[in-house]
Amino acid sequence: MTLETTQAVPLTQWEDGSIRVKDTRLLVDMIIHAHRRGECPEEIFESFPSDYYTVADIYAVIAYYLANKEKLDKYIALREAEAEEIRNRIESRPGYKERGEELRAKLRERWEARKSR
């Protein structure tokens, strides 16, 4: 037997800078947040099932995160700051609050109609 000492991490970086599980749209952020909440790799896989990756891939991503925690924590903090900036820009648009309340009311109506079927 030959001991394999390197393993490929199934991650890729998209042009927009996001890091995702290779050949999928699943963000590494989502896996890391689930891991931080205490979910095990099997639970994470069940939350985001796919034919394009395995539970072993989730373990590999978590192992990569643990080995590169500082770098990935900075990456996630940057992405969260960017998301907050975008959210603030959207919410500051005139009429945003009114349209949001309108939309939420419509969604509640649909949800209630669906539940009563």
Residue 31: CATH number of its domain:
1.10.10
Question: Model confidence over 73-101: pLDDT tens digits?
Answer: 999 999 999 999 999 998 898 888 888 88
- Is the pLDDT reported for residue 117 higher than 80? no
> Would 45 be classed as within a structural domain?
yes
> Would 113 be classed as within a structural domain?
no
> Would 60 be classed as within a structural domain?
yes
Residues in the chain, overall count: 117
> Would 73 be classed as within a structural domain?
no
Instruction: Supply the range of the domain harboring residue 15.
Output: 11-67
- Tell me the pairing of strands 11-13 and 19-21: antiparallel
Residue 100 CA to residue 61 CA, distance in Å, equals 36
> How many structural domains does the chain have?
1
Question: What is residue 104's predicted lDDT score, i.e. its pLDDT?
Answer: 87
